[in-house]
Structure 1
Amino acid sequence: MISLKDRIFGKKSVAMVGLLEEQTREGLNKSYIPKFLYKPPFGYPRASNIPFIRYLATTPYVDMCITTIIGEICSIEWDIVPTDGMEDQADDNEIEHIRTFFKNPNTNDESFDEVFIKMPVRDLLEINTGLLNKIFNRREDLVEVVARDGGTFTKNPDFHGMYTNRQEIMLPTEIIDSEHTVINPFKQITIPSVREQAAYFQYGWIAGPMPVPFGKREIVWMEQNKRTDDHYGYSAVQILAKNLQMLIYMLESDLDYYNDNNVPKGIIGLEDMDSDALKAFKTQWTEMQQKKDDFGNYKKMIHKVPILNTTATFTRIAFSSQEMEVIEKQRWYTKMVWASFGVTATELGYTEDSKGSANQIVQSKVFRKKAINPMLRILENKYNQNIVSEFGYVGKVKTKNGSILTKPKYKLVFKRFDTDEERQKYELYELQTKTGIRTINEVRKDEGLEDVEWGDKPPREWQQAENNTFINGGPEDNFSKRERDAQDTNIPGKEPKVENPENQKKKESKASDMNSPLVLREGETPTNSKILERAIVYILNQNKKEINKLIESEVKTSQLSEIKDLNSIIEKIKDFFNIAALKTITDALIRNNYMDGWDDAEEQMNKNYLPEEHAIDYLQDYTFDNIKGMTDDIENKLRQELQRGYMEGEGVTKLKSRITKVFDVGKNRSEMIARTETTRASNFGRLQAYQKAGEKGKKQWVTHKDDRTSDICNRLDGQIVDINADFVDSKTGWTGLAPPSHVNCRSKFIFIPKDD
């Protein structure tokens, strides 16, 4: 319902995020909030000891978590941007108006970080209440925003938990001049009216017996852990209260032990000493051990040995297992604190708890997901609903049925950027465009890019256009014609053309591509393992060159340790490892070796059969997975080597040496993979041809004999088994239908037909 004041003076234009300008939806509430049978006059009191919670939050276990979260949020850039669909109606002056207010929110010269992040976020994490007070002038214009202690405020909803009928702004009943300022100018408001009008109250001894009332527009109330069974929810500190007390007691116990009992636990025995002498010894012991610290407090000196003129004995009291477990308990309780705040060991600097750089990257992602992103969503939502809306900058949007809705033109956003999320987004774009769900121009519009001429065509057309343009340089016939014309100097009136240096480079690059070990020439059917080996080494060398370039460009100075974010370099290295180009030549080599074995079997049997395509596919995928596993290992070793270089502060030269060592190992593995898998394909092609023919007979292991022959192949040499049975090495327990029996195995088998 619209109030009389709004009818006379006009309702202020406050655009809420939900597109609705309203005071009530005139709903009929039936459900009640918790403790509705108990309705105090000035807000629901907190059933928590706020000072004690604040004390627990000052412990290092909690403070390092809170400080880490606040620091991370403060490091994220923010801005005022148009809301979705409002880009055309945006005004730079309006945006700057809002942005300037957020940068300078009050006359205390407090910054955005202080007012909108540091103070409210700390209260959110400590007591589950972050609170901002919006200050209005007599015209009800927002003029300042200040952060206040959320622990001194109470909520005052109705029985149904609604603030709908609460006053928006509550101003003092009389104007107080500077000479007669009173602490609480609301004291003339009667109790019944306050109870029904105020949305919040602030308590404190300075205001006297009457708490200060606030309207619902005056307070920005933020909670992280809302609950249905409690008005204020519980913060992580409240949930961890007993754990934190235990940690505090452990610290105090250690401190007391250091101050009062820093000799090993035991009993000192003094022979033939009477009570007076014993008392004198104790006094002397205490005086000898006492020493003042820098702050004037007495502490015990460490292991100062008393000098006696009598015989003394010391009996050690051994520690119990319970005492020895105290440190382990401390670690466990500390990890519970970290988990409750969503903070990981890596973010707190405990890198020994995160094995390897890959795990540290995962931990950083977990930290952003559990601690940072939820907090950013709370801040964005509350500040857009309660502060950006106060500026009254709204736009109009038209629905499909012709209705006009009011929508806020601007919003505050924190500029979150996650590499993995961006990669997933563009992979989704690629899938949507290739399947025709969306056009290229629709995607470009979402990314704020200009349309392209071919962007609205169906997928087949733009893919073909793209391929012609970027791969072949245009239609083949036109390209061929231009190339012939460029080379033909006999055309009348044409002078010999001097090759442009840039074009010459492109032509040389094209010729180089034709000589690449990744490119199969027309009609070529490779079987030699050296071909695959050269292709893998070629890819590794390309990756090595790119990584060296990256290191040179990233390490601006001579020390890697000066780089702020080592993980970003590691992520870029990960992007370099693309072995998709090896798939074609790998598949061809495996197929050809399989078919060679198949053909040998057919020739011996004098029969022809169709090859087992599923078996070829399996061997091709198996080989490619081996190559991928090798590159994954190289990637992990590179991470480890860069991590070591980072720790030792090495320069570019030493880092390149580390990279070379890693790739040298990869080259050796590429030889092993190529030889082993081509042997496997050939032997299994021969075996499956015999099996498909249903030939009865046996197979015999034939070992390639020289000084490099392995022990297992020497033992298997000459072994004869049924065509469908496994060869077995009795010593190692290895079994297999056919060679290879190990890496770089060169053995094969022969088929022995069964006599009719």
Structure 2
Amino acid sequence: MVERQGIQGIPLSPYQINVNYSGARMNNYSGDASGWFGPQDPLAPFAPSSVAGRQWDYQPGFNLSVASRPFAPIGFTELRAFADGYDLLRLAIETRKDQIVRLKWSIKPRANRKFDPLKIQAIDHFLTRPDGQHTWDTWLRMLLEDLFVIDAPAIYMQRDMSGRLIGLLPIDGATIKPVIDDWGRTPQPYIEKDEIVYPVAYQQILKGIPAVDYSAQDLIYRPRNVRTHRAYGYSPVEQIISTVNIALRRQAFILDYYTEGNIPASLIGVPENWTPDQIASYQRYWDAYFEGTEGRRRKAKFVPGGVAKTFIQIQEPELKNLFDDWLARLICFAFSISPQALVPQNNRATAETQKDLAEEEGFHPLLTWIKFLIDDIIEREFQAPELEFIWGNETKIDPAVQATILSDYTSKGVMTLNEARVELGLLPLPDPTADMPMVLTATGYVPIGNNIEK
């Protein structure tokens, strides 16, 4: 038997020896049944070859729509209404904001990269008030609101006459409609006649009409949870929309219990001489009377004497049960927040484990998303790829201990003097030797590259 060889002499498996779609070998059957009722030849493609690489099967004329989230079952307005209407969901969103904005941050040089201290100072001053009006904390909270609720954070790049960035202005992401090219992707800049052309990448819809065109140079539109078959992001609120809908009805039920009176689940007897038809007729009347009216449903009603004589209460309605705990856990899980404060107490070890797990699964990826956003701005707008945005460590170190650690690192050449100064939040020294790793000898600091014995 002759062994068939594949690419680079690799033997082919039995399923690769005879590639056959149509089953034509049926007429010349030789003991191989692979062509019997075969899959047949695939249909010839109708689209031109240039369509290869299209990201998703978008609706024809996608760019002509001016609706909010066209072709999506849930719009931005509904998502914001759900986020504002359910107390627990709003608390989870605000808690996550508080956890992020309380962190310190700094602009530091990347490892083994030369940098200009004045650039660090300029970028740090700019990010203190990114839009020229709001502080970093307030500015970031606005951005996170659109990230958590509608996953459509948008920032307008305000520039001066020379094109220099002077402000990062948050824009309502619900007014921004992404524009897609023939392949279903955001149009990218291209070069034409030795000039960079920035095509329209986004449109702002105001008063129901296209108001402003933006290119990728004008607007930063950065959904966090993007998918191949959608032009819009998929926010945590949208991911739990059914659960929030249930929780809203649960919340309305409890509110009506306290504001509209109450009547527990019960059995009410009728006079013994009533016929089944009379009972059914009165039941229909009773049901119709309370149908669709939350307030009326929770009020007692005067009934004929024979009916009122027998009343059997089945149970008192539970205002809080395991279902509420499940809702709280699910909401917190969507935002990677520990549900410890909302559910029955656990032991300390379990609570610490939940807290650490929540930070690992949701908190750190969110901080990474913000870091990449700011790093991109630093590189593109300030031409400083050697610098990066760094989140500070929440763990507080005693100043004396920190001084001992940094002194030990600088004396052994692990860190340079300027790296230690940046760690302390001080400006680097202009002396070139401060950027060189050195070791401490009996005669003083000596650069590592030098001959220490001499």
Does residue 148 in structure 1 map to residue 171 in structure 2?
yes
Alignment partner, residue 286 of structure 2: none
Q: Which of 163, 171, 176 matches 2:187? A: 163
1:386 to 367, 372, 377: 377
In the alignment, structure 1 residue 415 sits paired with structure 2 residue 439: no
Counterpart residue number, 1:639: none
Equivalences for 1:239-250 in 2 at 5 Å? 239-250=239-250
Aligned residue for 1:216?
216
For 1:333, the equivalent position in structure 2 comes to 327
Q: What is the CA-CA distance between 1:57 and the residue it aligns to?
A: 1.0
Is contact 1:217–1:386 with CA below 8 Å preserved after alignment?
no
Cα displacement (A) at 1:140: 1.5
> How far off its partner does 1:78 sit?
0.9
* Alpha-carbon distance in 1 for matches of 2:228, 2:145: 23
For the 8 Å contact 2:115–2:387, the answer to whether it is kept is no
Residue matched to 1:81: 108
Quick one: distance in 2 between partners of 1:259 and 1:267?
Answer: 24
Q: Between the two proteins, what is the percent identity of the paired residues?
A: 18
Contact 1:220/1:386, CA 8 A, preserved across alignment: no
Q: Give the Å deviation of 1:312.
A: 6.3
Does 2:191 correspond to 1:199? no
Q: Which protein, 1 or 2, shows the higher relative CO under an 8 Å CA cutoff with sep ≥ 6?
A: 2
Contact 2:188 2:199 in 1 (8 A): no
- Aligned partner of residue 210 in structure 2, secondary structure: coil
Matched, 1:32 2:29: no
Distance 1:313 1:445, change over 3 A: farther
Q: CA deviation at 1:166?
A: 6.8
Q: Which has the higher helix share?
A: 1
1:452 matched to 2:448: no
Flag the 1:97–1:315 CA change in 2: closer, same or farther, 3 A: same
Q: Secondary structure at the match of 1:211?
A: strand
Partner of 2:314: 318
Q: CA offset at residue 418 of structure 1?
A: 6.4
Mapped partners of 2:137, 2:180: distance in 1 = 30
- The offset of 1:441, in angstroms, is 4.6
Do the aligned partners of 2:148 and 2:236 also contact (CA within 8 Å) in 1? Answer: yes
Tell me how far apart the structure 1 counterparts of residues 230 and 201 of structure 2 sit (CA, whole Å). 17
Partner of 1:136: 159
Match of 2:88 in 1: 61
The offset of 1:154, in angstroms, is 1.5
Give unmatched runs, 5+ long, in structure 1: 1-27, 168-193, 272-298, 395-407, 420-439, 457-756
**Aligned partner of residue 383 in structure 1, secondary structure:** helix
Give the equivalent residue in structure 1 for 2:361: 370
User: Any idea what the Cα deviations from partners look like across 1:649-689, whole Å, max 9, x if unmatched?
Assistant: xxxxxxxxxxxxxxxxxxxxxxxxxxxxxxxxxxxxxxxxx
Provide the secondary structure at the position in 2 that maps to 1:452. Answer: strand
| Alpha carbons 2:108, 2:120 under 8 Å: kept | yes
Question: Separation in 2 of the partners of 1:222 and 1:134?
Answer: 13
Deviation at 1:325, TM superposition (A): 10
Indicate how the Cα distance of structure 1 residues 104 and 448 shifts in structure 2: closer, same or farther if over 3 A, else same. Answer: closer
Q: Does the Cα contact within 8 Å between 1:78 and 1:414 map onto a contact in 2?
A: yes
- The reply to whether residue 254 of structure 1 matches residue 246 of structure 2 is no
Aligned-residue offset at 1:43 = 7.4
1:262/1:447 CA distance change after superposition, 3 Å? farther
Structure ID, larger Rg: 1
Shift of 1:451: 3.9
Does structure 1 conserve the Cα–Cα contact (< 8 Å) formed by 2:155 and 2:219?
yes
Equivalent pair of 1:43/1:201 in contact (CA under 8 Å): no
User: Aligned to 2:63, what secondary structure does the other structure show?
Assistant: coil
Q: Contact conserved, 2:204 with 2:210, CA < 8 A, in 1?
A: no
Q: 2:131 maps to which residue?
A: 106
2: CA distance, partners of 1:113 / 1:166: 36
Shift of 1:442: 6.2
Instruction: Tell me, in whole angstroms, the C-alpha distance in 1 between the residues paired with 2:61 and 2:393.
Output: 43
Q: 1:42 to 1:111 in 2, by over 3 A?
A: farther
1:225 touches 1:235 (CA, 8 Å); kept in 2?
yes
Any conservation in 2 of the 1:43–1:200 contact (CA below 8 Å)?
no
8 A contact 1:42–1:201 mirrored in 2? no
| Residue 119 (structure 1) aligns with | 142
Amino acid at match of 1:145: L
Pairing 1:350–2:342 present: yes
Give the aligned partner of residue 121 of structure 2: 96
Partner AA of 2:361 in structure 1: K
Partner deviation per Cα, 1:133-178 (whole Å, 9 max, x = no partner): 11123322212211111121121132231432379xxxxxxxxxxx
Distance of aligned partners of 1:40 and 1:144 in 2 relative to their CA distance in 1, 3 Å threshold:
same
SS of residue in 2 equivalent to 1:67? helix
Runs of at least 5 residues in structure 2 that lack an aligned partner in the other structure = 1-49, 192-196, 272-294, 397-410, 421-436, 447-454
**Would the alpha carbon gap of residues 203 and 37 (structure 1) be closer, same or farther in structure 2, given more than 3 Å must change?**
closer
Higher mean displacement: 447-456 or 212-221 = 447-456
Q: Quote how far apart the aligned CAs of 1:253 are.
A: 1.9
Q: Could you say which residue in structure 1 is the equivalent of 2:3?
A: none
Could you report, residue by residue, the CA deviation over 1:558-586 in whole angstroms, capped at 9, with x for unpaired residues?
Answer: xxxxxxxxxxxxxxxxxxxxxxxxxxxxx
Confirm or deny: 8 A CA contact 1:129 1:222 kept in the other structure. yes
**Structure 1 pair 345/311, CA: closer, same or farther in 2 (3 Å)?**
closer
Aligned positions of 1:730-741 closer than 5 A:
none
Alpha carbons of structure 1 residues 260 and 350: separation in structure 2 relative to 1, 3 Å? closer
- The answer to whether the 8 A contact 1:69-1:371 is kept is no
Aligned AA for 1:164?
A: Q
- Worse-matched range after superposition: 36-45 or 244-253: 36-45
> Contact 1:345–1:353 at 8 Å: present in 2 too?
no
Contact 2:83 2:90 in 1 (8 A): yes
Counting matched residue pairs gives: 331
What is residue 43 of structure 2 aligned with on the other side? none
Read off the aligned partner of 1:262 and give its amino acid letter.
N
What's the CA shift for 1:388? 5.4
Alignment partner of 1:318: what SS? strand
Deviation at 1:268, TM superposition (A): 7.2
Could you tell me how far 1:382 is from its partner in structure 2? 1.1
3-state secondary structure, aligned to 2:388: strand
1:570-581 to 2 correspondence within 5 Å? none
**Aligned pair in 2 of structure 1 residues 245, 451: CA closer, same or farther (>3 Å)?**
same
CA deviations 1:255-304 (Å, max 9, x no partner) are: 23333342434467899xxxxxxxxxxxxxxxxxxxxxxxxxxx99x999
Distance 1:163 1:38 in 2: 17
| C-alpha distance 391-303 of structure 1, shift in aligned 2 (>3 A) | same
State the one-letter code of the partner of 1:148: I
2:221 partner SS = strand
Q: Is the 8 A contact 1:80 1:411 kept in 2?
A: yes
Instruction: Name the CA shift for 1:38/1:310 in 2 (closer, same or farther; >3 Å).
Output: closer
Could you say which residue in structure 2 is the equivalent of 1:50? Answer: 76
How far does the alpha carbon of each residue in 1:174-224 deviate from its partner, in whole angstroms, 9 at most, with x for none? xxxxxxxxxxxxxxxxxxxx9x9211111120xx63331111022222222
- Code of the residue aligned with 2:203 in structure 1: it is F
State the partner residue of 1:537.
none
Deviations 1:626-650 (A, max 9, x none): xxxxxxxxxxxxxxxxxxxxxxxxx
Q: TM-score, normalised by structure 1?
A: 0.39
Question: In 1, Cα distance between the equivalents of 2:178 and 2:230?
Answer: 11
